[in-house]
């Protein structure tokens, strides 16, 4: 059948099973939006308040569902407003297709109105990108974009389409999407046997789970693997939910704000089994002092990650789920009773500090966990609240914590929460933000109210840029340069002005009452939770020091330091 380029875009989205698109229209992409209007029964479009919100919403949709998220924007500033969201997805290996429109082919390179080389601008932050200047290339390019976004190590792909291509016509034939197979070509019997032998020889093994295990949806295989190896398990921020937060083997997060048990245990272990993690500096601390007593086994789908930050003594390259299906058949059940007892003693000795006598970040997260029975999808912005969400909510499944790990994007959470809710309408979806983050993209609350998307926004409001202030307190002589936000901004009034139900709470009881009501109302709600400006995240590892140097507030007090 003969279709124009805009019709082809819509038909290709249908081929790929896309049911929701997040975006913002403009001049060059109007033809595509006209077709979206005609196909609104098949594809739901969410008009965001800002294009960055569209990218974050598509990202949240992708992370929480495992599907490819799709966002759209017009040329020039519309396209550049997607950049932060695309970079966020790139750093965390999120499958995303961003569709932008550009000026007509004849206007390229002439400084036309709202012209930008978005392909050049996004080249370093996409898995791949394209500019489509000919109608013949449109359908093959879109199909290739989805395949690239989903295959191997996922990532964002940008497709820029000139306006004339959206209007030109060509014969179109629908095609069934290619099957995406799990990457296993580089898994060898020798590598599998080597790792199985190292496991058999180990006395003190430790398993570190990263985001790759979430992407691979390998939770069943990881839990079986941990049982076979008889090892404790820690995770990175991106690896939450692969091992249940209530599992007796689980020791908590590793790294800068990881538990002492995880940091000390990894330092003491003789074999570190790393499943889909990239050894971020926030995980390793000083890389030269990381897991020096251990042989390191690194299992990852991306060969470029092997030996990039930490030298591996053995490695297996392939999809985590596929690797563990094979490896679990080779590993004979181990018994490390003394080691597991030692880890359990450390967990009892070094618990996370939770004080519910007053409203604090940890108290908010603990109440949220209890009231939602640990079943909510939690999105976060970036900062202290993000770390508290990682520490105190016990995640039971992959894709339950949706957060910006690699890029650390303030303003990520509201859009991501909208995207998560659109992909998981049966789940309670809660975004946790600090007041500094909420200021950045709180306009997306208007998106939630426009469509009555029942997200719950919790603002942990300490009237400062909390994480930066924490560093200023500990390492910069309490010189609070530009981190105090104690002004006249009223989040309750602003949220009500955008159509949301809003609460201000100052006690644990008030918070719990507001949260229960927000869940029952099932409408967009904002809870402004007021906490002390000097609440801090502990444990903490100073930058560029060994994770074995993790300290708590009690440690600082014992040294006579007033924080």
Rounded to an integer, what distance in angstroms lies between the CA atom of residue 98 and that of residue 166?
A: 16
Residue 467 is a catalytic residue? yes
Residue tagged active-site, from 14, 114, 227, 533: 114
Task: Look at residues 180, 152, 478 and name the one whose alpha carbon lies nearest to residue 317.
Answer: 152
User: Is the Cα torsion angle 361, 468, 281, 400 positive or negative in sign?
Assistant: positive
Cβ atoms of 308 and 244 within 8 Å: the answer is no
Task: Look at residues 440, 463, 433, 438 and name the one whose alpha carbon lies nearest to residue 533.
Answer: 463
- Interhelix angle 138-150/5-15, rounded to 10 degrees, is 30
Cβ atoms of 37 and 66 within 8 Å: the answer is no
Give the DSSP letter of residue 464: B
Task: Look at residues 340, 126, 130, 136 and name the one whose alpha carbon lies nearest to residue 248.
Answer: 340
Residue tagged active-site, from 113, 178, 181, 311: 113
- Interhelix angle 361-371/384-392, rounded to 10 degrees, is 40
Which run of H or E residues covers position 305?
A: none
Rounded to an integer, what distance in angstroms lies between the CA atom of residue 115 and that of residue 117?
A: 7
Calculate the alpha carbon distances from 122 to 1, 146, 178 in Å. Answer: 34, 17, 26
Residue 51 is a catalytic residue? yes
What percentage of the chain's residues is helix, strand, coil (to nearest 5)? 45, 20, 40
Residue tagged active-site, from 22, 115, 130, 163: 163
Residue 35 is a catalytic residue? no
Rounded to an integer, what distance in angstroms lies between the CA atom of residue 531 and that of residue 13?
A: 45
Cis peptide upstream of residue 539 (ω within 30 degrees of 0): yes
Residue tagged active-site, from 35, 51, 115, 221: 51
Rounded to an integer, what distance in angstroms lies between the CA atom of residue 563 and that of residue 549?
A: 18
Question: What tokens does 534 get?
Answer: 């000097």
What size, in residues, is the chain?
A: 563
Cβ atoms of 287 and 373 within 8 Å: the answer is no
Q: What is the CA radius of gyration of the chain?
A: 24
Residue 72 is a catalytic residue? no
Where b means 16+ CB within 10 Å and e means fewer, 63-75 reads: bbbbbbbbbbbbb
In sequence order, which ranges of 188-257 are alpha helices (DSSP H)?
189-201, 211-215, 219-229
Cβ within 8 Å of residue 506, ≥6 positions away:
359, 530
Residue 163 is a catalytic residue? yes
Rounded to an integer, what distance in angstroms lies between the CA atom of residue 470 and that of residue 533?
A: 10
Question: What tokens does 523 get?
Answer: 């409408």
Q: Pairing mode, if any, of strands 169-171 and 2-4? A: antiparallel
Catalytic residues: 51, 113-114, 163, 467
């Amino acid at each position: 059948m003969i279709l124009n380029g805009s019709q082809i875009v819509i038909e290709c989205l249908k081929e790929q099973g896309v049911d929701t698109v997040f975006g913002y229209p403009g001049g060059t992409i109007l033809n595509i939006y006209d077709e979206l209007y005609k196909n609104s029964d098949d594809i739901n479009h969410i008009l965001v308040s800002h294009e960055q919100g569209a990218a974050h919403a598509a990202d949240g949709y992708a992370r929480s569902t495992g599907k490819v998220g799709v966002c759209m924007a017009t040329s020039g500033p519309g396209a550049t407003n997607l950049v932060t969201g695309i970079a966020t997805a790139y750093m965390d290996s999120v499958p995303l297709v961003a569709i932008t429109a550009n000026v007509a082919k004849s206007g390229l390179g002439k400084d036309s109105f709202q012209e930008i080389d978005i392909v050049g601008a996004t080249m370093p932050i996409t898995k791949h990108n394209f500019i489509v200047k000919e109608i013949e290339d449109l359908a093959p390019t879109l199909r290739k974009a989805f395949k690239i976004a989903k295959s191997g190590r996922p990532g964002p792909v940008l497709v820029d389409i000139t306006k004339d291509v959206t209007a030109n016509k060509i014969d179109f034939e629908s095609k069934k999407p290619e099957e995406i197979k799990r990457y296993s070509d580089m898994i060898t019997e020798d590598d599998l046997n080597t790792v199985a032998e190292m496991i058999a020889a180990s006395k003190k093994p430790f398993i570190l789970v990263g985001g790759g295990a979430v992407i691979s949806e390998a939770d069943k295989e990881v839990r079986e693997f941990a049982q076979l190896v008889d090892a404790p398990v820690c995770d990175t921020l991106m690896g939450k939910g692969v091992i249940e937060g209530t599992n007796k083997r689980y020791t908590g997060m590793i790294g800068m704000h990881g538990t002492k048990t995880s940091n000390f245990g990894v330092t003491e272990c003789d074999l570190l089994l790393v499943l889909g993690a990239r050894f971020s500096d926030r995980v390793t601390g000083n890389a030269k002092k990381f897991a020096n007593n251990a042989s390191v086994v690194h299992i990852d789908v991306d060969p470029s990650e092997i030996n990039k930050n930490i030298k591996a003594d053995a490695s297996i390259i392939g999809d985590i789920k596929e690797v563990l299906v094979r490896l679990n058949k080779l590993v004979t059940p181990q018994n490390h009773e003394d080691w597991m007892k030692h880890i359990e003693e450390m967990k009892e000795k070094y618990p996370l500090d939770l004080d519910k006598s007053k409203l604090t970040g940890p108290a908010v997260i603990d109440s949220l966990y209890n009231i939602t029975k640990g079943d909510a999808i939690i999105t976060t912005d970036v900062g202290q609240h993000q770390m508290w969400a990682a520490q105190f909510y016990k995640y039971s499944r992959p894709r339950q914590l949706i957060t910006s790990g690699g890029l650390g994007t303030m303003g990520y959470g509201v859009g991501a929460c909208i995207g998560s809710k659109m992909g998981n309408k049966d789940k309670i979806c809660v975004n946790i933000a600090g007041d500094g983050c909420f200021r950045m993209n709180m306009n997306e609350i208007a998106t939630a109210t426009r469509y009555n998307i029942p997200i719950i926004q919790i603002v942990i409001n300490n009237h400062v840029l909390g994480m930066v202030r924490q560093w200023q307190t500990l390492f910069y002589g309490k010189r609070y340069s530009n981190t105090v936000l104690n002004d006249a901004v009223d989040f309750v009034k602003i949220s009500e002005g955008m159509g949301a139900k809003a609460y201000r709470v100052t006690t644990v009881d008030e918070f719990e009452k507001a949260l229960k009501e927000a869940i029952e109302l099932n409408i967009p709600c904002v809870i402004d939770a007021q906490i002390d400006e000097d609440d801090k995240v502990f444990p903490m590892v100073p930058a560029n020091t060994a994770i074995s140097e993790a300290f708590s507030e009690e440690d600082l007090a014992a040294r006579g330091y007033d924080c």
